A and B are shown apart, each in its own frame.
Chain A
Amino acid sequence: MGMRSLLYIAWNRKQYVVNISHDPVMDLAYHAKAWGCWQMWIISPLLLLGQAMGLLWSVSSPLERKGMFYNQKKAPSSVISWARYLKDKASSGASCSSVLKAKFALVQSKLKSTGQDPLDEPQLVVFVEKHLKDTCLETKLEQAKQLLPLVEGRMFCIDELEKILSGDLNLKFPVEDLFQLLYLQKKVDIYPGVGINDKGRPQCFRCGTNNKLRQSYCLDCGSTECYYCETCISMGEVRECKPLYGVPALFSPKSSEVNVELDFQLTEAQKDTALKVWQFTKASGIKKCLVWAACGAGKTEIAFPAMAQALSLGHKVLFAVPRRDTLIDIEQRIKSCFSGVEIAALYGGSEEKYKKADLALATTHQALRFYQGFHLVVLDEVDAFPYYGSYMLYYGLNRAIHPDGKIVYLTATPPDSLLKIPREELERVTIPVRYHGHPLPVPEIIIEKSLQLKGENLTVPDSLLHLLHKSVEGDLAQVLVFVPTIFLAEKTGEALKTAFELPPFNNFDGGWVDYTHSQDPERDKKRERFLKGEFPVLVTTTLLERGINVPKVNVLVLFAENRYIFDTRTLVQMAGRVGRMAENPHGNVWFVGTHATPAMKEAISWIKNMNKEAAEKGYLNRLPAAGRMKLKNAK
């Protein structure tokens, strides 16, 4: 299966094509049939697909790969290009022999520079009628046509094809031949698994990365220096000698009603935002839209009308989230709202991975399996791990969007990269208020210099214990205590445990305090117990910064001056844990640090701006507290 390919030039009297093939005779037969080409010159030795593709991209223009007329050149735009143009005219003008000579010399010099053996002279293949019959061109074209709709919108290598087809089509010919014909018809794009990119460096064409490419002996192609990618190896191996086929979605307009049935009422703010997003997908010339919602505003649902609109036009829609557990959650909600729509949930370990569907719900990793397939992509929680900061997932998701497609980002804390995009390219919509109509709790900064780790011991100052006592026994609210590191989580947890055994706490049985972090094997159990209200104080790292809904909770952020871990987004997310339920819409958030960092101030100003906007638009049941920043020194 290892594929080796070569470069050729095929021509007739008017035009020529530069391309690659693993079977030049079949290509020649196709060209002869399609545009009356009769000669082909082979200008490179057999190369691994990655090398051959890199060579092709470096020696030819897109127009030459498509089919270029000999004297088809752009009108010159500057003096120098006029001079060049005239010089060309004066010499002889481009003709088949001059093109061949130029390309052959270029290919050989490139081969030499990469240390491969060049070809002595180009080889000629002339078309004869017999080729048509020998290559079974007609039947192959027929079968390729049947194959195309089954794989549209996907990016895959040959090993995956069997699973995608799942026995729907009985292929009589090698798949490589069929896809080569589709490639010549410009219906499929072929990439090498790993190849040389336009910067002349090796790159994995599935995940877009280049940091974990390794060379090894390959049994398929026999080369000892065949690259493969270890970054995306969990999705199956891609190699330098294996092709990746990208099939853009075929657009077949159909109009069918798609209704969204919500089992609850949208609030005013949600309705306004949903309308704006719907207008964006329908009419706007802008391709990106950012929905900036307050924590707990119910942002997932506001994309539903826009999705229904795209689906009713016959477009394909992708709803992507970074993590699997949230996806399973959302799958239930979406399935109940969109009845009568083909829905597939794609995540690692899902059985529907290769199912054909109009609405795909996928983790961002699974987006790597698609190629220009979706006219609308909705990406929830743009700033969440693992999507945030991963080049691979960014690359994959952007490739999955159709060239005419649009993307909607949903988030409570948009990353800088999105905020930097100018307004002409990114439409911004906000939902400034939570569904219960109360303002977001504004955090309070507490300067506390005595909270420090001295040697092995951490003593919690009385002022903080007073806060905790007031919260636990006064308000009867649980407290989430956030600390920056696992080590500090353990230390703080132990320190609070001992402090809680002393007055003023009435902690007679002990066990009011527990701590957890990502390395804790019992983290899920502790989280469940905390949610049930079995103990009031949980010390944690940023592990629980999102996706936890506690009925009545206050948030205490210790060591908040640690700016590498507690950046603006993390602080806003942590503050967003408070007051999410309609029964207890208020609560307290305290940032405790040795000094007030810019991140703390920015987080507070983000929250205040949200509240201000909500008040201006008249969404609030109650006006927010006075707008001055409170600085309270505990000493």
Chain B
Amino acid sequence: MPNSLMEGAREIFFPQREKCCFCDQGLSLYEDMWCANCFSKILSWKEKYLRCHLCGKLVKNVNICRDCSDNRPLFAFSRAVGGYEGLLRDLLHRFKYKGMRSLAVPLGRLMALEALKHKEYLDSQAITFVPLSPIKLKERGFNQAELLALEVGKWLGMPVENLLEKDVDTSPMAKLSRQERLANLKGVFKVNKRLANYRVMLVDDVITTGSTVISCCEALLQAGISEVFVLTLATGIDMEYKYSSTQ
């Protein structure tokens, strides 16, 4: 009894401030979940880059990136919260590799905010996500895309469906080129049911060359889905333009 009284008194005199999910600093009155400082860091790409109208990749001085002008992607279009650099990259590492799955909540909310800017996302009938192979899933313990998709679904009030399956364990893609990645993923994803006239939002954590997402789209389109809109947390930066601008 005296203990709980003391705690009540402490709550009154020293109320615990909510902390920013990203930097652990206390939040001020009008901030919720993340602080203004972190939010501006996440959106800082807007000062430096434009984005490709189709795949959402960050580019300089052009409207459509080189990959998309060479051959048009299979998905209708794709958007991301920011570039795969700086704070967002750090957050994604913490979330994906260090296992801090509670970050799914704020990151999912960031993605939902991005989705609200585009009518197409809201018109789609369901959210689905890029699957992991069973071996990888066991190793990591969770599918980061699934957690993000569940959060996005919660914020937008849309159903999340597990449409895709990945049976084969492919080698890690981080060091492969675009062509190698596409070959690596050929026919790996499968859709477990037939769906006609269905529009879906496909969620992934990061899109760099787009090969994973394109393979998923292939499988989804074969199953009869009419359009796929891709939403990711981070996106690649077109290296060529990036270097030419710094030189």
Binding site for B on A (CB under 8 A): 214-220, 228, 230, 233-234, 237
Asked whether B194 is an interface residue with its Cβ less than 8 Å from the other chain, the reply is: no
Q: Closest 8 A-B residue pairs measured CB to CB?
A: A214-B102, A216-B101, A237-B99, A216-B102, A219-B142, A233-B99, A230-B100, A217-B147
- Restricting to B136-187, which residues have a CB under 8 Å from any CB of A? 137, 141-143, 146-147, 150
Q: Are B137 and A219 in contact (CB under 8 A)?
A: yes
Asked whether B104 is an interface residue with its Cβ less than 8 Å from the other chain, the reply is: yes
Q: Are B141 and A217 in contact (CB under 8 A)?
A: no
Tell me the minimal C-beta distance from B175 to chain A in angstroms: 23
Residue of A nearest to B151 (CB): A217
Tell me the minimal C-beta distance from B161 to chain A in angstroms: 16
Task: Report Cα–Cα, A237/B140, bound state, in Å.
Answer: 10
Residue of A nearest to B137 (CB): A219
Tell me the minimal C-beta distance from A195 to chain B in angstroms: 18
Residue of A nearest to B147 (CB): A217
**Chain B residues positioned under 8 Å from A216 (CB to CB):** 101-102, 104-105, 147
Given contact pairs A219-B141, A228-B99, enumerate 18 new A-B contacts (beta carbons under 8 Å): A214-B100, A214-B101, A216-B102, A216-B147, A217-B101, A217-B104, A217-B142, A217-B147, A217-B150, A219-B137, A219-B143, A219-B146, A220-B141, A228-B101, A233-B99, A233-B100, A237-B99, A237-B141
B interface size (C-beta, 8 A) = 14
Q: Are A233 and B142 in contact (CB under 8 A)?
A: no
**Chain B residues positioned under 8 Å from A233 (CB to CB):** 98-100
Task: Report Cα–Cα, A233/B103, bound state, in Å.
Answer: 14
Binding site for A on B (CB under 8 A): 98-102, 104-105, 137, 141-143, 146-147, 150
- The listed residue (A217, A219, A220, A234) touching B98 by CB distance below 8 A is A234
Tell me the minimal C-beta distance from A147 to chain B in angstroms: 22
Task: Report Cα–Cα, A219/B101, bound state, in Å.
Answer: 11
Tell me the minimal C-beta distance from B113 to chain A in angstroms: 20
**Chain A residues positioned under 8 Å from B104 (CB to CB):** 216-217
Question: What would 13 A/B residue contacts be, using CB atoms closer than 8 Å?
Answer: A214-B100, A214-B102, A215-B102, A216-B104, A216-B147, A219-B142, A219-B143, A219-B146, A230-B100, A230-B102, A233-B99, A234-B98, A237-B141
Residue of B nearest to A220 (CB): B141
Task: Report Cα–Cα, A84/B141, bound state, in Å.
Answer: 52
Task: Report Cα–Cα, A220/B99, bound state, in Å.
Answer: 14
Residue of A nearest to B101 (CB): A216
Task: Report Cα–Cα, A571/B205, bound state, in Å.
Answer: 50
Task: Report Cα–Cα, A128/B126, bound state, in Å.
Answer: 51
Task: Report Cα–Cα, A234/B97, bound state, in Å.
Answer: 10
Task: Report Cα–Cα, A220/B138, bound state, in Å.
Answer: 9
Tell me the minimal C-beta distance from B71 to chain A in angstroms: 36
Task: Report Cα–Cα, A215/B100, bound state, in Å.
Answer: 10
**Chain A residues positioned under 8 Å from B137 (CB to CB):** 219
**Chain A residues positioned under 8 Å from B105 (CB to CB):** 216
Task: Report Cα–Cα, A525/B132, bound state, in Å.
Answer: 45
**Chain B residues positioned under 8 Å from A220 (CB to CB):** 141
Task: Report Cα–Cα, A217/B143, bound state, in Å.
Answer: 10
Task: Report Cα–Cα, A237/B146, bound state, in Å.
Answer: 19
Residue of B nearest to A219 (CB): B142
**Chain B residues positioned under 8 Å from A237 (CB to CB):** 99, 141
Task: Report Cα–Cα, A233/B140, bound state, in Å.
Answer: 13
Task: Report Cα–Cα, A233/B101, bound state, in Å.
Answer: 11
Residue of A nearest to B104 (CB): A216
**Chain B residues positioned under 8 Å from A234 (CB to CB):** 98
Task: Report Cα–Cα, A217/B142, bound state, in Å.
Answer: 9
**Chain A residues positioned under 8 Å from B100 (CB to CB):** 214, 230, 233
